[in-house]
Amino acid sequence: MKIEGAYKIEALFKKAAGLKLAKSKVKEIEEAIDRKLYEMLTVAEESAGYNARDVIWLSDMPLTNAMKRSMREFAGLEEALDLDPVLERLAVHPPLKYEMEVALEKRLPEIAGTLIYILAKIVREFSPKDNSVSEAELKQAFRVLDLLV
């Protein structure tokens, strides 16, 4: 997910968890966040269908209380992601059956940013004293994110 370049993800990891992220790991993170956001949208699409709607609402997104709390914490970092790059990356996936409501579409950068924030926090849990992100820690964090979101 070409959110806004490597510097943005690096900055988020630093602000969220005090971690130094090598540029070589950014692409892997972009792809994981892109995949996770699309998975969340497909779950939301199912919810819209179950509710006999042909529009995906923000309330259809599988946002747990912990995810909502992380969204508030991410917002507190005062980091903003642009919508266009998020939509461009979603366009490479199979199209969703239903359209998204405008309110949901506008929140996609916040949700993507929150997923990056959560990933940084997970990595920090694996290595509370080391400020650099290892390949092993990143892979573990991806597995935890896959289990939880």
Going from the first residue of the chain to its last (149 residues), give the mean pLDDT of each consecutive group of 10, the final group possibly shorter: 66 92 90 94 97 97 95 90 83 92 94 94 89 90 90
Q: What pLDDT, on the 0 to 100 scale, is given for residue 88? A: 85
Q: What pLDDT, on the 0 to 100 scale, is given for residue 5? A: 66
* Overall CATH class of domain 6-148: mainly alpha
Q: What pLDDT, on the 0 to 100 scale, is given for residue 52? A: 97
Query: Closest Cα to residue 12, out of 149, 90, 121?
Result: 121
Q: What pLDDT, on the 0 to 100 scale, is given for residue 145? A: 92
Which residue has tokens 């819209």?
48
Q: What pLDDT, on the 0 to 100 scale, is given for residue 89? A: 83
User: pTM for the full model?
Assistant: 0.91
Strand spans (E) along the chain: 55-56, 99-100
Q: What pLDDT, on the 0 to 100 scale, is given for residue 117? A: 95
Q: What pLDDT, on the 0 to 100 scale, is given for residue 6? A: 73
What is the Cα Rg of the chain in Å?
Answer: 15
Burial of 116 from C-beta contacts in 10 A (0-12 / 13-18 / 19+) = buried
Q: What pLDDT, on the 0 to 100 scale, is given for residue 34? A: 92
Can you name the residues that pair with 56 across neighbouring β-strands? 100
Residues 1 and 86 sit within 8 Å (Cβ to Cβ)? yes
Residues 122 and 145 sit within 8 Å (Cβ to Cβ)? yes
Q: What pLDDT, on the 0 to 100 scale, is given for residue 116? A: 94
How many other CB atoms sit within 10 Å of the CB of residue 38? 17
Residues 93 and 38 sit within 8 Å (Cβ to Cβ)? yes
